[in-house]
Amino acid sequence: MMTTRRDFLRTTLLTAATASVADVALGSPSKIPSADRMGVLCDLTACVGCRSCEAACKRAHGLPAGPDSPAANRPDPQEHRRPSPESLTVVNEYKSSSDGSRKTYVKVQCMHCDYPACESACIVGAISKKESGPVVWDGDKCIGCRYCMVACPFQIPSFQYDTALKPDIVKCDFCVQRTREGGVPACVEICPVEALTYGRRSALIEVARRKIETYPDRYRNYLYGEFEAGGTSWLYLANNDFKEFQFPDLGRDPMPGTTESIQHGIFAYFVPPLSLYSLLGGLMWITKKRKEAEEEMAE
Amino acid sequence: MSTPTAPAPLTKRYITPGVIVLILLALNGLTFVLVRLLFGIGTVTNLSDQYPWGLWIGVDVAAGVALAAGGFTSAALGHVMHREDYHVIVRPALLTAMLGYTFVALAVVIDIGRWYYVWHPLIMWNGRSPLFEVGMCVMIYAAVLYIEFLPIVTERFMGRVQLKGIFSHLNGPLETLLRILNRALGKTMFLFIIAGIVLSTLHQSSLGTLMIIAGPKMHPLWQTPILPLLFLLSAVSVGFPMVIFESLLASRSFGLKPEMSVLSKLGTLIAPLLGIYLAFKVGDMVIRETFVYLATPTTESVMFILEVVVGVIIPLRMFLSRSVVRSPLGLFIASSLVIVGVLLNRINSFIVAYTPPYSYKPYFPSIGEISVTLGFVSLLVLAYRFLVKTFPIISVERREAAPITKYSIRGSTK
């Protein structure tokens, strides 16, 4: 969670560099993600909908199994659930619109964006993108304002509305604890059909390309997450248009681009606010002098 | 009209039937605040993971900040432009702004999950976040407003500090403190006044920047990169209508003659401001070709048309009419429409326009949310009434002004 010296130097240099070159270029957020960041390739054509990833996730994060535990009480497959404070990931079933018997299972969790809107939005900087890929939340800073939820284009962060004293923002943390110790995320580890592959993001893109080339009948020629909102750590392959599975249709521009340009424009070295201050000060002085002169004339 | 006027504490009775209704509304709101603090946000509100922001952010915070804009617009007119003729409105506008921001801060505290961490942005900075900027500016501006109010306090109590009993030996030091404060503030006040205007332009606009990051989750009728400019322009155009609205209400409630000479002149300034706002609003719609969304009747298109027609175009036409600007009723209706327009715009921007990709249940504010909002508004009016009876804020004709020696620091207003 701590900012390392390297992180600090990197951000400082980058900020200085971007500020001097192209400060207000629209659509360019201030942080550049690491080239070695990790990701997960999720192959929806392989997923059988067993939902053991949901259970493994709950175990890894100490969450209650609850009524939607995989073994008992299977939820209505047509009910499309969303991640919640009790389940950081959910698997939903989608019937093909052309062929009703063909089912696709879609795993939903935080996409771990390369340019996270939540990180840019957070008022206290409680959300950060780690160099290794995960977008994580820091409970010591969070004030519970829920702006990250407003900002997230994938509608992922969840809030503990029924907790009075210390409600958390809850979302997939990419098993940051496990991966730091050399492990793989719990959902990837448990998947019995290897629908999930954990690896360096750049390598996963290669793998996905090869899969599409080798099995053109099996895959739609599209890798969701490669460019969406500037790119995400989680990448999806599917047999159909991603709109069928309710993936949001996002452009290639990072979500924070516009707001950060506006903020940098307004606060470019505090020049605009200070100029306004001196302008108003000057105006105040001139009108005061004029007033005094008028009063003298009157006398 | 030629009678000299000066700000003085008002002497009318505090309790009236209307005040009793306000007290009941305030108590009802505070009950729900208590439930929220004890059992969490979910028990009181209809907020969800799909709709994380609702009435409290849209109305209490966003509209609250906009409707408190009378403070900085009248400060600019009265102090920066040195228009002495408008001085009677500066103090009431300052009080409204001060109370407005106080209740915005309270609303934020109630809305955020971990209210006891509300001070975190002071030491944990994220310069990339527009919310951080809004938070910092609002906190600093609220402090500036309290400083701007201090001279009214010193004016009220200087030479009149008469504590009784064991506190009587504090009278001397208190008097000295008031005099030092008064002198220091008199010399430096212009710094705070200008700072207040700069801070206002910054956070009024940044409130608009807030929703830009929501991207496609915000309906295209409102989602535009010039949202901060639109928010600033609408805040500037609602400042004077708010001052007029409040001045006419206060005159009626306290049985004073409305300051029509000043208010009419103020009214003539509003049409150009509304015109600029309308030009940018319509221009933005034409350039982004979002008028196509107005062709189909949806909640969004109806609300957008209501906001622009009722809240901007009709009052704009009214303020251009001489007879409207000269009549108290006309001014009151036109000003109210501008206020309703900005209120609608903030509700639209933060609630109606927010269309999350996975929405299973539409959002409508709960009884609890509405109660808290009404409760805070009532508390604000009650505080306003108390303060104008305690401090010299509203100008009255001099012969009606109460003799100053009547008061002691304990604030008895018999």
CATH number, domain containing residue A196:
3.30.70.20
**pLDDT tens, position by position, B105-119:** 999 999 999 999 999
Q: Rounded CA gap, A25 and A292, in Å?
A: 47
Q: Is the pLDDT of residue B102 over 90?
A: yes
Buried b (16+ CB within 10 A) or exposed e, A144-175: bbbbbbbbbbbbbbbbbbebbeebbbbbbbbb
Q: Quick check: is B318 in a domain? A: yes
Torsion of CA A246, A251, A256, A258, to 10 degrees: -140
Q: What is the pLDDT of residue B282?
A: 96
Q: What is the pLDDT of residue A29?
A: 57
| Contact: A30, B121; criterion CB under 8 Å | no
Q: Quick check: is B55 in a domain? A: yes
| Contact: B53, A143; criterion CB under 8 Å | no
Q: Rounded CA gap, B127 and B225, in Å?
A: 19
Let me know whether A192 and A278 are in one domain: no
Let me know whether A167 and A226 are in one domain: yes
Domain count, chain B: 1
Q: Quick check: is B411 in a domain? A: no
| Min distance B92 CA to chain A CA atoms (Å) | 21
Q: Quick check: is B275 in a domain? A: yes
Range scoring the smallest mean pLDDT among B26-35, B166-175, B188-197: B166-175
Q: Model confidence at B159, in pLDDT bands (50, 70, 90)? A: confident
Let me know whether A202 and A278 are in one domain: no
Percent helix, strand, coil in chain A, to 5, is 35, 15, 50
| Min distance A178 CA to chain B CA atoms (Å) | 27
Quote the domain boundaries for residue B329: 5-406
Q: Quick check: is B414 in a domain? A: no
Q: What is the pLDDT of residue A3?
A: 47
β pairing state of A38-43 and A234-237: parallel
Q: What is the pLDDT of residue A67?
A: 58
Q: Among all chains, which residue has been given the structure tokens 């609608």?
A: B344
Let me know whether A128 and A161 are in one domain: yes
Per-10-residue mean pLDDT, chain A, length 299? 49 45 45 87 94 92 73 66 93 82 91 95 94 94 96 96 94 95 95 95 96 94 95 95 93 88 81 89 90 84
**How many Å from the N-terminal Cα to the C-terminal Cα in chain A?**
70
| Contact: A291, B126; criterion CB under 8 Å | no
Q: Residue B184: give its domain's CATH number.
A: 1.20.1630.10
Higher pLDDT, B411 or B301: B301
Helix H or strand E encompassing B309: none
Using alpha carbons, select from B361, B359, B358, B319 the residue that is nearest to residue B338. Answer: B319
Chain B CB contacts of A290 below 8 Å: 82
What residues have CB less than 8 Å from A217, skipping those under 6 apart?
none
Q: Quick check: is A107 in a domain? A: yes
Any CB–CB contact under 8 A between A6 and chain B?
A: no
* B213 within 8 A of A117, measured Cβ to Cβ: yes
What residues have CB less than 8 Å from B177, skipping those under 6 apart?
none
- Rounded mean pLDDT, B299-309: 96
Q: Rounded CA gap, B153 and B148, in Å?
A: 10
Chain B CB contacts of A281 below 8 Å: 190, 194
Q: Quick check: is A143 in a domain? A: yes
Q: Rounded CA gap, A151 and B53, in Å?
A: 11
Q: Quick check: is A19 in a domain? A: no
Domain count, chain A: 2
| Contact: A143, B356; criterion CB under 8 Å | no
Any CB–CB contact under 8 A between A293 and chain B?
A: no
| Contact: B40, A163; criterion CB under 8 Å | yes
* B44 within 8 A of B372, measured Cβ to Cβ: yes
Q: What is the mean pLDDT of chain B?
A: 91
3-state secondary structure (DSSP) of residue A143: coil
Residue of B124, B288, B349 for testing the chain A interface, max A β-carbons within 10 Å = B124
Let me know whether A220 and A197 are in one domain: yes
| Min distance B195 CA to chain A CA atoms (Å) | 7
What residues have CB less than 8 Å from A263, skipping those under 6 apart?
B127, B128, B129, B130, B133, B206, B209
Q: Rounded CA gap, A258 and B208, in Å?
A: 12
| Min distance A170 CA to chain B CA atoms (Å) | 10
| Min distance A83 CA to chain B CA atoms (Å) | 9
Give the single-character DSSP code of A253: S
Quote the domain boundaries for residue A55: 5-14+30-256
Q: Is the pLDDT of residue B338 over 90?
A: yes
**pLDDT tens, position by position, B188-222:** 999 999 999 999 999 999 999 999 999 999 999 99
Q: Is the pLDDT of residue B401 over 60?
A: no
Q: What is the pLDDT of residue B165?
A: 78
The closest CB to that of A273, out of B124, B131, B202, belongs to B202
User: A83 is written with which tokens?
Assistant: 């991640």
Q: Quick check: is B354 in a domain? A: yes
| Min distance A166 CA to chain B CA atoms (Å) | 6
Any CB–CB contact under 8 A between A128 and chain B?
A: no
| Min distance B189 CA to chain A CA atoms (Å) | 12
Q: Model confidence at B405, in pLDDT bands (50, 70, 90)? A: very low
Q: Rounded CA gap, B414 and B411, in Å?
A: 9
Using alpha carbons, select from A178, A179, A236, A229 the residue that is nearest to residue A205. Answer: A236
Q: What is the pLDDT of residue A66?
A: 65
Q: Quick check: is A24 in a domain? A: no
Any CB–CB contact under 8 A between A16 and chain B?
A: no
Q: Model confidence at B400, in pLDDT bands (50, 70, 90)? A: very low
**How many Å from the N-terminal Cα to the C-terminal Cα in chain B?**
29
Q: Rounded CA gap, A136 and A29, in Å?
A: 18
Q: Quick check: is A285 in a domain? A: yes
Q: Quick check: is A25 in a domain? A: no
Which residues in chain A (33-52) have CB-CB distances under 8 A to chain B? Answer: none
What residues have CB less than 8 Å from A294, skipping those under 6 apart?
none
| Contact: A123, B129; criterion CB under 8 Å | yes
Geometric angle at alpha carbon A144, from A141 and A150, rounded to 5°: 115
Torsion of CA B62, B65, B70, B76, to 10 degrees: -110
Q: What is the pLDDT of residue B409?
A: 46
Let me know whether A293 and A173 are in one domain: no
Let me know whether A81 and A184 are in one domain: yes
Q: What is the pLDDT of residue A267?
A: 77
Any CB–CB contact under 8 A between A270 and chain B?
A: no
| Contact: B214, A150; criterion CB under 8 Å | yes
Let me know whether A226 and A250 are in one domain: yes
Q: Among all chains, which residue has been given the structure tokens 């909908």?
A: A49
Let me know whether A212 and A282 are in one domain: no
Residue of A2, A262, A291 for testing the chain B interface, max B β-carbons within 10 Å = A262
**By CA distance, what is B111's nearest residue in A?**
A145
Let me know whether A82 and A199 are in one domain: yes
* B43 within 8 A of B367, measured Cβ to Cβ: no
- Rounded mean pLDDT, B31-41: 96
| Contact: A258, B190; criterion CB under 8 Å | no
* B243 within 8 A of B74, measured Cβ to Cβ: yes
Let me know whether A161 and A272 are in one domain: no
β pairing state of A135-137 and B5-7: unpaired
Let me know whether A141 and A212 are in one domain: yes
Chain B CB contacts of A162 below 8 Å: 39-40, 42-43
Q: Quick check: is A21 in a domain? A: no
Q: Is the pLDDT of residue B294 over 90?
A: yes
Chain A CB contacts of B216 below 8 Å: 153, 248-250
Q: Is the pLDDT of residue B359 over 90?
A: no
